[in-house]
Amino acid sequence: MNINNVLNHLATFNELGYNPDNGGINRIAFSHPERMAALKFSMLCQRAGLDVYFDFIGNVIARREGKYPDLKPVVIGSHIDTVKDGGQYDGLLGVIGALEVVEYLNKHHIETDHPLIIIAFACEESARFNEATIGSKYLTGQYNRTSLKDIVDNDGYVLYDIVQPLSQEVRGQTALFERNQIKAFLELHIEQGPILENNNDDIGIVTHIAAPHRFKVTVQGVTSHSGSTPMPMRTDALTAASEMILKIEQLAQQYTNEGIVATVGYVDVYPNTMNSIPGEVSFLIDIRGKDEAIREDVVQQILNSIDQISTQRHTHCKITDLGNEHPAKLNAEMAKITENVCKQHGFEYKYMYSGAGHDAMNFASIVPTSMIFIPCKDGISHSPLESVTTAQIAKGVQTLIDTTLELTHKTTTLEDFDNQVI
The counts of H helices and E strands in the chain are 11, 13
**Shortest distance in whole angstroms from residue 190 CB to Zn ion:** 8
CB 373, CB 196: distance < 8 Å: yes
Pick between residue 90 and residue 386 the one whose CB is nearest to Zn ion: 90
Pick between residue 90 and residue 291 the one whose CB is nearest to Zn ion: 90
**CA 357 vs CA 134, 195, 227, 325: distances in Å:** 12, 16, 47, 10
**Shortest distance in whole angstroms from residue 204 CB to Zn ion:** 14
* Selection from 129, 135, 165 nearest residue 28 by Cα: 129
3-state secondary structure at position 244: helix
**Shortest distance in whole angstroms from residue 316 CB to Zn ion:** 40
**382 annotated as ligand-binding:** yes
**Shortest distance in whole angstroms from residue 192 CB to Zn ion:** 7
**How many other β-carbons are positioned within 10 Å of the β-carbon of residue 32?**
11
Q: 294-310: b or e for each residue (b if 16 or more CB lie within 10 Å)?
A: ebeebbebbbebbeebb
Q: How far apart are CA 84 and CA 87, in angstroms?
A: 9
Q: Residues 42-81: x/- map of binding to Zn ion (CB under 5 A)? A: ----------------------------------------
**Shortest distance in whole angstroms from residue 92 CB to Zn ion:** 9
Q: How far apart are CA 34 and CA 128, in angstroms?
A: 12
Pick between residue 66 and residue 135 the one whose CB is nearest to Zn ion: 135
- Sign for the CA dihedral angle at 67, 407, 186, 391 comes to negative
Pick between residue 102 and residue 188 the one whose CB is nearest to Zn ion: 188
**90 annotated as ligand-binding:** yes
**214 annotated as ligand-binding:** yes
Pick between residue 135 and residue 279 the one whose CB is nearest to Zn ion: 135
**Shortest distance in whole angstroms from residue 29 CB to Zn ion:** 12
Pick between residue 125 and residue 236 the one whose CB is nearest to Zn ion: 125
* Selection from 24, 139, 35, 117 nearest residue 81 by Cα: 35
Pick between residue 9 and residue 313 the one whose CB is nearest to Zn ion: 9
CB 78, CB 187: distance < 8 Å: yes
Residues 160-219 close enough to bind Zn ion by CB under 5 A: none
Beta strand 211-220 pairing with 280-289 = antiparallel
**268 annotated as ligand-binding:** no
**26 annotated as ligand-binding:** no
Q: Is 236 in the site for Zn ion (CB under 5 A)?
A: no
Q: Is 91 in the site for Zn ion (CB under 5 A)?
A: yes
Q: How far apart are CA 102 and CA 52, in angstroms?
A: 13
Size of the site for Zn ion (CB under 5 A): 2
What φ, ψ does residue 286 adopt, rounded to 5°?
Answer: -120, 110
**27 annotated as ligand-binding:** no
- Sign for the CA dihedral angle at 227, 231, 233, 236 comes to positive
**51 annotated as ligand-binding:** no
**How many other β-carbons are positioned within 10 Å of the β-carbon of residue 13?**
24
Amino acid occupying residue 293:
A
Which range of residues in 5-13, 89-97, 218-226, 234-242 is near Zn ion by CB under 5 A?
A: 89-97
Tell me which of 90, 236, 291, 386 binds Zn ion, using CB under 5 A: 90
Strands (E), 293-368: 316-324, 328-329, 349-354
Which range of residues in 82-90, 180-188, 394-402, 410-418 is near Zn ion by CB under 5 A?
A: 82-90
**208 annotated as ligand-binding:** no
**Shortest distance in whole angstroms from residue 392 CB to Zn ion:** 16
Residues in the annotated binding site for Zn(2+): 79, 90, 125, 189, 382
Q: Given the rule CB under 5 A, which residues bind Zn ion?
A: 90-91
Residues in the annotated binding site for allantoate: 214, 275, 288
Residues in the annotated binding site: 79, 90, 125, 189, 214, 275, 288, 382
